[in-house]
Structures are given as C-alpha cells and as structure tokens.
A and B are shown apart, each in its own frame.
Chain A
Amino acid sequence: MSLNSRFLSLISIAVTTAAMLAPTVEAQTRRTAGAAAAASPPADNVRVLQVRPNIYMLSVGGSNVTVQTGKHGVLLVDAPLPSLAAATFAAIATVTPAPIRYVISTSASRDHIAGNESVAALGRTASGPGPALNSASNAVLLGSAQGMTILAHENVLNELTRATGTDAVSRNVLPTSEYFEPTKDFSFNGEPVIVYHMPNAHSDGDSIVFFRSSDVISAGDVFTPDRYPLIDRAHGGSVQGVLAALNSILAMTVPEAFADGGTKVVPGHGRLCEETDVAEYRDMVYIVTDRIRDLIAKGRTLAEVQAARPTLDYDREYPSAAVTPAMFVAAVYSSLVDEKVAKGD
C-alpha cells in the first residue's frame, strides 16, 4: 500500500470515527441545551402556549389571557395588564394578523380588565377614532356597532361605574355589552362561544367562557390553581359561590381517557389545566371550608380559626402573596358566618 493510500485510509478511518461520534456529541450537546432551557425561567413576561389549533393561552405577567383566532378576527378572554399590553399585542401578532374584535371580561378584577383600555386604544388616534376595521394597521373601533365588543356580566359594569377614587376606571375600560341572564352565547370564528355567569363566586360578576368546538373553558378567577381563591367579599364573592363555580366547570369538562386530556381549562392565573386539576382544587376548597365550618360550629372566632391553621396541608402548594392563607381563611369564615346568619342559626 502506498503512502498516499495508507494516508487516505487513515483519513477515511478518522472521518468514519468522527461521523460515528458526531451524533453522540451533538445529541449530548442538544440534551444539555434542552436541560438548560428547561431549568431557566423565561426571560420575558409574555409567553404563548398553544392550547388548540385556534386557541392560545398567553401567560402575561402571571395573569392569563385566552386568545381565540379565526377568519372573523381575534377574541380575547380578559385583557393584559396595561404595562404589558404592547408586548401582549406583539405576541398575538406572532400567531395571527387578524384584528381584535372581542374582549370578554370574566370579572371586574383590575388585573384582568384594566387592559381593556389598551385594546380599545388600538382603534384610536390622537384625533379620534382610528382607521376602519381590518385596515393594515390592525386597528379596531370601540363598541359593538363599530366592530369591537367588550362583553361582561352587568355586575361588572355596575361595579366599575360605581367605583370612585383610586378604584375608578377610564370609560374605555367599561364593557360595551352586558348580559344579566345565566348565559349568553354567540358564534365567533365559526365556533359557539357560551358565556356562563358564576354567581357570587370570586365576585358577583364572574363569567366563564366555553369554546364549544375547541373544548376549552376560560375560567377567569373562579379557578386559580397557583393560589388560593381570591374571594372578593366586598363585591359579592363567597366560598359557596366558588365551590358552585368549580362544580359547574367539572360538570362541563370531559376527559379524553383515563382522566387525562380532553377539555382544557385556562385559569385566571396559573398553569393550563384539565378536569382532575379542577377536581383537586375543588377538593381543597371543600375540605378547608368543611374544617372552618366545623370550627365555627365549635364557637371559634376568626382569630382562633386562623390560629388553628386549617390550611396547613395546602399552604406550600398554593403559595401566593396575592392570597395568603389568612386572607383565604378570613373570606371562608366570613362567607360561612353570613350563611349561618341567613339561615337563622
């Protein structure tokens, strides 16, 4: 064998060896990168999670916005915080060029509704209403007759128009369409959209939204799996209403198989969920409520009930400064005392 041929043989062997090693090294590199990506918290405050082909869950600074897309435009369930509105609209633009036509506000919670003004502003200019619907600027006009609707239960409008001082909101935040019956339905993007009122749950104006073809429920703040329920007692919220709302959601959800998959539930805050996630949460609320009811029956004051720590076994699973255990216990206690008074016990 000549020198050249031997040299070529060695090169061939080396190339072969490198080729055999390459996938291993590459795969290992990719694994490392994947692990690092998994371990690192997302840098941005707006993340897009595709739930169905035409439904997205946007995690916006800890609150969730549901986005339905299609030929008729974009429907939002809840609006982003004003400070994150621009980033949210940019995120929506990555999945569809269509204009925003609907916002359904699930309650009067400012973290879900304050951004209505930012959405409305998409259709305004300094000199007044902006360009027409479906223009290249993606602009919309405020008001159902003009192309865009902000829909909520009438109690949301009532609360917002009554609010004064620091609670007061701009008129551009207000719903343009309200409902007062138990449900309201319409079709958008070829899909039945059914809005259900959940009385006296997180507040007195809660709605959940069911996208019937997509089999997705947007639950708003009646379901928040990363924290205890925020029960706004000052605005008609009650633990009994929260339990009823959670049971309503459970009645609507259908798992695909073996209690997995199937109906997706977008909560007001926290991860995307399914039926058994809602059941676990409902069970927690039920069990804590039962414990507090038992303590009330034994004559315990709120301070004594809080000291008994009826949420001890759940506190680390639902940690949130927004709803501390003491706040949750106080809201449940108050709800149950009111119930007791109403029953004349």
Chain B
Amino acid sequence: MKTQRSLPFGTGVIAVLLVQAAASVALAQDVDFSGAWSPLYHEDGPERLPGPELGDYTGIPVTDAARLRADSYDADRISVVTEYQCRQHSADYSMRGLATLRVDSEVDPATQRRLAFHTRIGFQAMERTIWLDGRPHPPPEGAHSWQGFSTGVWNGNVLTITTTHLKAYYLRRNGIPSTPNRTLTEHWMRHAEFLTVVTIIDDPAMLTEPLVRSQSWVLDPGQQMGPQQCEYVTELPGAAQLVPHHLPGTNPWLHMFADEYGLPYAATRGGAETLYPEYRSVMGQPAKPPPAQCDVYCICSTLFDCNRVPGTNLLGGRIPGVPVGGPARAVAPPAAAAPPRTSGAAQ
C-alpha cells in the first residue's frame, strides 16, 4: 500500500499567495503611464496660460542673484538673440506648459520588464527618455540639453525621476532664471485617468530652497500630435551681437504687477519668506489701493477666460447689466518713457 503523506494544511494556499504577491509587487512597482495626456490648468492658471506678469516673483524662493537677473531680463532677448528663438522648453518648465503630452513605454522583449518611458510634448518636439534600467547619469563634463538626462525609480506606485544635465533656462517666463547646475526631481502619480506630477527644482544659485510645484493631466486618447519644425529669423538688422537687457535700476515694468493687483511691492519680489502664511502679517500695505474691479486675469482657467474682456462672455458677447471693462490685459507702459535698456556700447 502506498502511503500518501499530506503536506500541512494551507501550504498550497500559501504558495499561490506567494505567486500572487510576487505579481502584485511587480505591478506595484510598475505603473504604466503610456497614453496621450492633456494638461489641466486648475493650478497656477494665470502664470501658465497668458503668462506671468513682469515683476511677479511671488511663490518663488529666489536668491538675490535670481532677483537681479530677473530685473535685468528683457523678453526681447529671446527673439533678438536668434540662438534662442527655436529653443524647446527645458524639462522642468515644459511640464507646466500648454502642449499635450504623449508617453510611450519601452520594454525588454525577453523579460517584459519596463526599460524606459519616452515622452513627447507637442511644443517644439520636446522628447525625453526616462530610463528605468539603472544606468548612471553622464559625468559632469557631459553635454547638457533642454530635456536633460532622466532616470526613474519606483517608490511604491510612484515613479520618482531625477533629471540632470539641463541647459540654462528660466523658472518663470518673466525672466527668473535657472542655471545648468540644477537638478529636477519629479514624482509621477497616476489615478485612473488623471496624472499628477510634482516637480522639485534644486538650484542653489537661484533658489534658497527647493521650488516645489505640481501639475495635473487628464487622459486624452484622441489627440493628434503633428510634426514640428522651427527656423529662426533675424528680426532686427545688425542685431547679431545685441543682447537686450535692463541695466540695474532701470527696468520700468517692475511695479506694474503690484499696481494692477493692489499688492505691496515687497510681496511681489519673491523669496522664501514670502511663501508662507506668516508673511501676511509683515508684508505691509500696497502703494496703491486695489482696483475697484479686477480686470486682469481674474478668472483664468482656460485661455478663453484669460483673454476675455470683462463684461463679456466667452464668445465675446456682452453680459447684460455688466459694464464692459475694456481690454482684459492692461498693456499701457508706465507714464515715463522707458529708458534705453542697455548702454548699447557692448556690441
């Protein structure tokens, strides 16, 4: 008679659970972000859609160096200096932009493990690879690019991405600069149809503490992403050696933001101390009272909102009983004529 000995009760169940657990671990460390995504603007709409006001450094823990560089910034620089005309956004800025995002996944055919995510953002064909295979970053002397070099590791179901080797760019479109020495850390989180990306920028030369921001995206599988091409054009004769900028103390636009919104000027100058609620008790009073009616980017979650003339609806029609407030965006220069932006001699 053959004796059949049984294994202790439950051994098979445990084995099955082990297999399931292994599969779960694998899944938990590997969320698929593949797909087409559209950006949402419920966060920082005015900054991201029409663009930040000149002199608005709020929310940025700028150093004195960054503040001076931003005060000197003249937006003509990115058109007059032809080398900048076609540039992409850098990876830390592009996630806050207006273009759609596509994410493709690359897997090892043998193991089916994910090797990388490839992202493309529609504006200026911003393509980035996020390596998941553990490769090291290039050495410090390696070339920089707009998208930098990105590697990712899983923290549970959050993908944490580190990006280095970025070219110098700006943190905010009004000229707050970033240096090529910065590091970008991202945390990618997917909740069904929504993607949230938290970005953390460390740039000690320009920031006294890390700059933390977040952006959200919604799955948008029907979108089309066309090819991109850019060719620079010279916009001013003889401008090849001209670098527009404002000499210290001569930028006439720096008070515009504070005046339009009725804010204390000091509060618009940024810095870590202005980021926290306690600052409200010491920020002082505005030089001018707030306008009776807000007419600059007051309701701004889409481009239509941002460009809407107060008193009109999204289609441009008048809203009965509401006065039309004139141009939504006041662009009148300061009363005094702007002084020459450069001495013009360093050409």
Which stretch, B20-28, B52-60, B287-295, B322-330, touches the partner chain A?
Answer: B20-28
Q: Is A2 an interface residue (CB 8 A)?
A: yes
Contact B86 A259 (CB under 8 A): yes
Q: Is A17 an interface residue (CB 8 A)?
A: yes
Contact B5 A3 (CB under 8 A): yes
Q: How many residues of chain A get a CB closer than 8 Å to chain B's CBs? A: 68
Q: Is B196 an interface residue (CB 8 A)?
A: no
A:321-339 near B, CB below 8 Å: none
Our pick among B19, B66, B181, B245 for the contact of A13 (Cβ within 8 Å) is: B19
Closest chain B residue to A288 by CB distance? Answer: B346
Contact A273 B151 (CB under 8 A): no
Contact A294 B343 (CB under 8 A): yes
A:25-59 near B, CB below 8 Å: 27-35, 37-38, 42, 47, 49, 57, 59
Q: Is A109 an interface residue (CB 8 A)?
A: no
> Which residues of B lie under 8 Å from residue A28 when comparing CB positions?
134, 153
Contact A250 B83 (CB under 8 A): yes
Q: Is A185 an interface residue (CB 8 A)?
A: no
> Which residues of A lie under 8 Å from residue B181 when comparing CB positions?
317
Contact A258 B125 (CB under 8 A): yes
Q: Assuming A13-B19, A57-B141, is B247 touching A291 (CB within 8 A)?
A: yes
A:257-288 near B, CB below 8 Å: 257-261, 264, 270-277, 279-280, 282-283, 286-287
> Which residues of B lie under 8 Å from residue A47 when comparing CB positions?
139, 141
Q: Is B190 an interface residue (CB 8 A)?
A: no
Complex Cα gap A261–B7 (Å): 64
> Which residues of A lie under 8 Å from residue B19 when comparing CB positions?
13, 16-17, 20
Q: Is B173 an interface residue (CB 8 A)?
A: no
Closest chain B residue to A51 by CB distance? Answer: B143
Our pick among A14, A31, A260, A264 for the contact of B153 (Cβ within 8 Å) is: A31
> Which residues of A lie under 8 Å from residue B312 when comparing CB positions?
none
Contact B243 A21 (CB under 8 A): no
- Tell me, rounded to whole Å, the shortest Cβ–Cβ distance linking B291 to chain A: 33
Our pick among A16, A42, A59, A289 for the contact of B346 (Cβ within 8 Å) is: A289
Our pick among B11, B81, B111, B146 for the contact of A279 (Cβ within 8 Å) is: B81
Complex Cα gap A317–B203 (Å): 10
Q: Is A243 an interface residue (CB 8 A)?
A: yes
Q: Is B335 an interface residue (CB 8 A)?
A: no
Q: Is B4 an interface residue (CB 8 A)?
A: yes
Q: Is B106 an interface residue (CB 8 A)?
A: no
- Tell me, rounded to whole Å, the shortest Cβ–Cβ distance linking A80 to chain B: 15
Our pick among B113, B168, B346 for the contact of A286 (Cβ within 8 Å) is: B346
Contact B143 A297 (CB under 8 A): no
Complex Cα gap A282–B135 (Å): 34
Q: Is B75 an interface residue (CB 8 A)?
A: no
Q: Is B282 an interface residue (CB 8 A)?
A: no
Q: Is B192 an interface residue (CB 8 A)?
A: no
- Tell me, rounded to whole Å, the shortest Cβ–Cβ distance linking B301 to chain A: 29
Complex Cα gap A257–B230 (Å): 8
Q: Is A315 an interface residue (CB 8 A)?
A: yes
B:52-95 near A, CB below 8 Å: 63-66, 68-69, 72, 77, 81, 83-88
Complex Cα gap A320–B278 (Å): 38
Q: Is A23 an interface residue (CB 8 A)?
A: yes
Q: Is A132 an interface residue (CB 8 A)?
A: no
Contact B66 A313 (CB under 8 A): yes
Q: Is B15 an interface residue (CB 8 A)?
A: yes
Other contacts beyond A260-B88, A274-B143, A312-B68: 18, CB < 8 A: A10-B7, A13-B15, A16-B19, A17-B22, A37-B136, A37-B137, A38-B136, A258-B87, A258-B228, A259-B85, A259-B146, A271-B144, A274-B167, A277-B167, A287-B243, A290-B342, A291-B248, A314-B69
A-side interface residues toward B, CB under 8 Å?
2-3, 6, 9-10, 13-14, 16-17, 20-21, 23-24, 27-35, 37-38, 42, 47, 49, 57, 59, 64, 243, 247, 250-251, 255, 257-261, 264, 270-277, 279-280, 282-283, 286-287, 289-291, 293-294, 297, 310, 312-317
10 inter-chain pairs at a CB distance below 8 angstroms, sorted by A residue, are A14-B15, A23-B111, A31-B133, A33-B136, A47-B139, A260-B167, A276-B167, A280-B167, A283-B77, A313-B66
B-side interface residues toward A, CB under 8 Å?
4-5, 7, 11, 15-16, 18-19, 22-23, 25-26, 29, 63-66, 68-69, 72, 77, 81, 83-88, 111, 113, 124-126, 132-137, 139-146, 151, 153, 162, 164, 167-168, 177, 179-181, 204-205, 228, 230, 240-241, 243, 245, 247-248, 342-343, 345-346
